[in-house]
Amino acid sequence: MRVLVLGAGYAGLTLARRLEDRLPPDVDLVVVDESGEHLVQHEVHRVIRRPGITDAITARLEDVLDRASVREARVVDLDRDSRTVSLVDAAADSDDAVTDTVSYDYAAVCLGATTAFYGLPGVREHATPLKSVSDALTIRERFLDVCASGGTAVVGGAGLSGVQVAGELVALAEEEAAENVDVVVLEQLKSVAPSFPPAFQTAVRESLEEAGVDVRTGVTVERATADAVETDAGTVPADQLVWTGGITGGPAMDDQRPVVRGDLRLDDHTFVLGDAAKTVDADGEAVPASASAAIRMSKPVAANIARLVEYDRTGSEDGFRPRLEPYRFSVPGWIVSVGDDAVAQVGPKVVRGAAARAMKATVGAGHLTTVGAVRKAVDLVEAELGNGRRGAAD
């Protein structure tokens, strides 16, 4: 019997570690990830200003998994009828050269999402997305050029990633003592951090504006050229464009994020967790795409896969298939960094400054500790809170 975990981000790695504890030892547990490492993606914007933090926010999967076997490969197709996935070599240029087809009894799709460009003319061509360390380094290089010559960097989209990128860019401009550099955030909806509570949105906007970011909400990007972003409110000159305007599914999911509900299943044998799906929880609440939610989804899914595996092997006393645990969205709060500031919402209370910044460092470090990367957790706290930050940075 085989259980496949596809993708080892927040959802996949936490799920795989839970399954290592819960599945009988003779069940083949395989984790497939194209990078072979876990990225603490909610800190990847920090790499723009502090490339040296990369080591603290990445962990080799072999180092944080125990009995699961790791396949470093790209999932290019999921065939739910035959219960197989097609893999290509992680380094392959084309998705056509399938090297292996792996069957499964249960699969958990935790492949995250890719950046959505919505077919906006010129945006894919002229913008840099932010999903990986390599994207962050590209953004850094381009922004240092803007700092050297003066100009405008535009960030399209003010979700969790856009807000935090803008915060890093203004802070980097200040560290470079750059003159005549503007950072503009364009957001189609009426507020920044649109999926989050109103008090949090207000505090995030204040923090961005105090840092010197030009925040424009209710503005829709229509196209991009080499030196400008055209919007429904006029043309914004842009020497650099970072695009964090939305997410969609990757090729293995036919470029879709399917909708899953309470038990996070697409069918009797296939679960989808994290950003890979649009999730509506057991109470009918839409779940924001976030690391916090992805991590918490792994708990009921691990319990449910373990129950189904046991049922398939031994049946049940009453002859019924096991009842599955529902997923209910609940997080303690939200935290974003804005350069050296941070904004945290804990319950109804919103805090900024040193307290929020300490919480932000603790969240990333807490996650690394939970997944077994304790040394990395210490490095991340040191880098985030400034102890030896230059060491981590330069």
Ligand X SMILES: Cc1cc2nc3c(=O)[nH]c(=O)nc-3n(C[C@H](O)[C@H](O)[C@H](O)COP(=O)(O)OP(=O)(O)OC[C@H]3O[C@@H](n4cnc5c(N)ncnc54)[C@H](O)[C@@H]3O)c2cc1C
**Contact residues: ligand X, CB under 6 A:** 7-12, 32-35, 41-42, 44-45, 74-75, 110-112, 130-131, 160-161, 164, 250, 252, 274-276, 289-292, 294, 336
Complex with ligand X: residue 19 or 110, whichever CB lies closer: 110
The crossing angle, in degrees rounded to 10, of helices 160-175 and 133-149 is 40
Residue 96's alpha-carbon distances to 74, 75, 251, in angstroms, are 11, 11, 12
State the minimum distance, in angstroms, from the CB of residue 153 to ligand X. 15
Complex with ligand X: residue 74 or 140, whichever CB lies closer: 74
Complex with ligand X: residue 44 or 361, whichever CB lies closer: 44
**Residue from 350, 352, 345, 319 nearest 331 by CA:** 345
State the minimum distance, in angstroms, from the CB of residue 313 to ligand X. 28
Complex with ligand X: residue 110 or 186, whichever CB lies closer: 110
State the minimum distance, in angstroms, from the CB of residue 38 to ligand X. 6
Q: Is the dihedral of CA 158, 163, 167, 169 positive or negative?
A: negative
Using CA atoms, how far apart are residues 226 and 208, in angstroms rounded to an integer?
A: 26
State the minimum distance, in angstroms, from the CB of residue 235 to ligand X. 27
Cross-strand partners of 115: 247
Written as one letter, the residue type at 63 is: D
Using CA atoms, how far apart are residues 108 and 6, in angstroms rounded to an integer?
A: 6
Query: In this structure, what token pair is assigned to residue 7?
Result: 């993708």
Complex with ligand X: residue 290 or 304, whichever CB lies closer: 290
Cross-strand partners of 2: 28
H-type alpha helices, 198-349: 198-211, 291-314
Sheet of 181-187: strands edge to edge?
127-128, 240-243, 151-156, 181-187, 214-217
Complex with ligand X: residue 143 or 230, whichever CB lies closer: 143
State the minimum distance, in angstroms, from the CB of residue 71 to ligand X. 9
State the minimum distance, in angstroms, from the CB of residue 118 to ligand X. 17
H-type alpha helices, 250-325: 291-314
State the minimum distance, in angstroms, from the CB of residue 317 to ligand X. 36
Using CA atoms, how far apart are residues 271 and 277, in angstroms rounded to an integer?
A: 10
Complex with ligand X: residue 228 or 350, whichever CB lies closer: 350
Query: In this structure, what token pair is assigned to residue 274?
Result: 């994290």
Using CA atoms, how far apart are residues 336 and 193, in angstroms rounded to an integer?
A: 10
Using CA atoms, how far apart are residues 340 and 168, in angstroms rounded to an integer?
A: 8
Determine phi and psi for 361, rounding to 5 degrees.
Answer: -65, -40
State the minimum distance, in angstroms, from the CB of residue 387 to ligand X. 21
**Residue from 332, 238, 329, 226 nearest 284 by CA:** 329
Determine phi and psi for 5, rounding to 5 degrees.
Answer: -110, 115
Tell me the residue nearest to ligand X as measured from the CB.
Answer: 9
Query: Beta strands 234-237 and 228-231: pairing type?
Result: antiparallel
State the minimum distance, in angstroms, from the CB of residue 159 to ligand X. 8
State the minimum distance, in angstroms, from the CB of residue 217 to ligand X. 19
CB 156 within 8 A of CB 256: no
Complex with ligand X: residue 49 or 230, whichever CB lies closer: 49
Complex with ligand X: residue 122 or 288, whichever CB lies closer: 288
Complex with ligand X: residue 131 or 216, whichever CB lies closer: 131
